[in-house]
């Protein structure tokens, strides 16, 4: 059974890489690349789905194996546990839905961007993006983590710059690469520190460091995570990256790239306890600063994708806030961070694809042009409501449960500082609810704008992906909840 789990896990990385190789080789050959990319994503989704029941029938809570080693060092060393198996499914599932959405979006009929070329580039790189993110999820060795970490940056750079003839697109793609690449150096520095001190390069080596060196290593990794997850002061690349096609933006925010940082710090904290209070103070303070800044930046935004970019910045900061509580030894903080990563992925994918569907149909990304959406599409209106109210934590939608657990972990941490940060986060949640309620009522209701009245029909592939995500925003918390009890600190 262990061999089957390992084989299926490797296939979830190999299949999309194979798809990237094949689709990239068909440049200018006129094949139906969208259908082939969708087929590879379905195959990846199947392997990750089949792996879930097989893993949980296995008696071991985790499996660690190294398919590639050099002189006893696992260059590619992977960890298979409840979190990595489930989050790899998330990456494959969201990737499949976004590629399904792309069947209708990436066409010459798109009113926002008339897309009639670059299909090999887009579909091939989306599959490679999927593979690199799954590689991050499974990585136990810091060597494989740094390789896949950088590969997500390269994929993002290439996809953000899809409209390369536009100077804004070229600028945004380079900016994303430079900032996230800077973080990569901090990850390498942390890896070098760990190896030079312990002779090991796996996550569990963090426990063998003395408290001072462990704290330094965690902060170095945290800086790498902040750059990847667009936290203050590294946030500027993410709003500019919204020049990319909407499927790229959706995957960046929902299941890849910006989630790398939150996931990497989750694994780091999981293997680093006990930590000094100063580590929790730094991580928590940076999370709250980012959260407040992101909230303030909601106000001037009229471009829907830029508003959603700042929303992602703030929601990722909730995950970092939970991890600051976890660094105090509060296990619910650890659980809340990965729970929110799971729930937020579905809500944010839905919200971005709603933005893409509206831009496809109307030709505009400005929310002031969207008045009266409900008169044209009940599905879009429902999706707008579910995505907006899920992200701000309205029950019974999915993000309510993970936000509640974050607040609970803050109050349970037994620390005045953690309690103050939790109160600030609750205030941010209330304020963001007001902002999103305003835009919901203004966009969905009222007299239809000229843009909405002249909107074209939305393809079935787009509507299908939206309906699946609407359903997932309602049930995803219940699907992940049974796994939460198995999320714990690893001590040795």
Contact assessment for residue 321 and residue 352, using Cβ atoms and an 8 Å cutoff: no
The C-alpha atoms of residue 388 and residue 374 are separated, in whole angstroms, by 15
> Half-sphere exposure of 155 toward its Cβ, with a 13 Å CA cutoff?
27
Contact assessment for residue 319 and residue 455, using Cβ atoms and an 8 Å cutoff: no
The C-alpha atoms of residue 241 and residue 176 are separated, in whole angstroms, by 7
pLDDT tens readout for residues 25-52: 876 555 678 889 999 999 999 999 999 9
pLDDT for residue 29: 59
In angstroms, what is the C-alpha Rg of the chain? 21
The C-alpha atoms of residue 64 and residue 76 are separated, in whole angstroms, by 11
pLDDT for residue 72: 65
Element (H, E) at 75: strand 73-81
Contact assessment for residue 237 and residue 196, using Cβ atoms and an 8 Å cutoff: no
Extents of the domains making up the chain = 2-484
Strand partners of residue 202? 141
Token pair belonging to 188: 């390498």
Element (H, E) at 68: strand 62-70
Contact assessment for residue 155 and residue 181, using Cβ atoms and an 8 Å cutoff: no
The C-alpha atoms of residue 134 and residue 459 are separated, in whole angstroms, by 29
Q: What is the pTM of this model?
A: 0.96
What are the percentages of helix, strand and coil residues in the chain, rounded to 5?
75, 5, 20
pLDDT for residue 27: 63
In tens digits, the chain (492 residues) has pLDDT values of 888 999 999 999 999 999 999 998 876 555 678 889 999 999 999 999 999 999 998 878 889 888 877 766 777 899 999 999 999 999 999 999 999 999 999 999 999 888 888 899 999 999 999 999 999 999 999 999 999 999 999 999 999 999 999 999 999 999 999 999 999 999 999 999 999 999 899 999 999 999 999 999 999 999 999 999 999 999 999 999 999 999 999 999 998 889 999 999 999 999 998 899 999 999 999 999 999 999 999 989 999 999 999 999 999 999 999 999 999 999 999 999 999 999 999 999 999 999 999 999 999 999 989 999 998 899 999 999 999 999 999 999 999 999 999 999 999 998 899 999 999 999 999 999 999 999 999 999 988 888 888 889 999 999 999 999 999 999 999 999 999 998 999 875
The C-alpha atoms of residue 235 and residue 242 are separated, in whole angstroms, by 13
pLDDT tens readout for residues 240-288: 999 999 999 999 999 888 999 999 999 999 999 889 999 999 999 999 9
3-state class (DSSP) for residue 355: helix
Contact assessment for residue 255 and residue 94, using Cβ atoms and an 8 Å cutoff: yes
């Amino acid at each position: 059974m262990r061999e089957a789990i390992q084989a299926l896990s490797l296939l979830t990385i190999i299949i999309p890489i194979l798809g990237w190789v094949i689709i990239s080789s068909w440049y200018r050959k006129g094949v139906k690349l969208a259908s082939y990319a969708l087929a590879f994503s379905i195959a990846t989704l199947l392997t990750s789905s089949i792996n879930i029941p097989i893993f949980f029938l296995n008696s071991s809570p985790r499996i660690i194996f190294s398919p590639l080693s050099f002189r006893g060092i696992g260059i590619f060393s992977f960890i298979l546990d409840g979190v990595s198996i489930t989050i790899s499914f998330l990456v494959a599932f969201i990737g499949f839905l976004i590629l399904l959405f792309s069947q209708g979006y990436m066409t010459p009929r798109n009113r926002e961007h008339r897309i009639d070329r670059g299909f090999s580039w887009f579909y091939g790189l989306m599959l490679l993006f999927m593979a690199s993110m799954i590689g991050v999820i499974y990585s136990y060795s810091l060597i494989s983590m740094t390789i896949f970490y950088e590969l997500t940056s390269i994929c993002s750079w290439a996809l953000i710059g899809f409209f390369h003839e536009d100077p804004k697109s070229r600028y945004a793609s380079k900016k994303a690469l430079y900032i996230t690449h800077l973080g990569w150096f901090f990850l390498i520095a942390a890896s070098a520190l760990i190896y030079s001190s312990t002779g090991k390069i796996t996550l569990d080596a963090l426990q063998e460091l003395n408290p001072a060196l462990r704290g330094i290593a965690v902060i170095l990794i945290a800086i790498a995570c902040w750059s990847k997850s667009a936290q203050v002061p590294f946030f500027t690349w993410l709003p500019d990256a919204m020049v990319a096609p909407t499927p790229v933006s959706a995957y960046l925010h929902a299941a890849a790239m910006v989630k790398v940082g939150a996931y990497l710090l989750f694994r780091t904290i999981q293997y680093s306890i006990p930590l000094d209070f100063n580590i929790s103070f730094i991580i928590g303070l940076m999370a709250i600063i980012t959260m407040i800044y992101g909230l303030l930046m909601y106000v001037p935004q009229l471009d829907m994708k830029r508003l959603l970019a700042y929303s992602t910045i703030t929601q990722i900061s909730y995950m970092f806030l939970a991890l600051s509580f976890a660094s105090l030894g509060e296990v619910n903080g650890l659980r809340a961070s990965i729970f929110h990563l799971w729930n937020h992925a579905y809500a944010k994918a839905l919200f971005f694809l709603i933005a893409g569907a509206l831009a496809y149909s109307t030709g505009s990304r400005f929310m002031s042009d969207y008045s009266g959406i409900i008169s044209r599409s009940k599905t879009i209106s429902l999706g707008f409501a579910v995505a907006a109210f899920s992200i701000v934590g309205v029950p019974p939608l999915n993000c309510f449960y993970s936000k509640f657990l974050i607040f609970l972990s803050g109050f349970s941490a037994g620390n005045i500082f953690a309690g103050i940060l939790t109160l600030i986060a609750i205030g941010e949640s209330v304020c963001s609810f007001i902002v999103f309620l305003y835009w919901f009522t203004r966009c969905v209701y009222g007299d239809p704008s000229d843009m909405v009245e002249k909107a074209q029909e939305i393809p079935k592939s787009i509507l299908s992906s939206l309906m699946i995500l609407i359903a997932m925003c309602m049930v995803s918390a219940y699907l992940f909840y049974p796994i939460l009890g198995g999320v714990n600190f690893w001590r040795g």
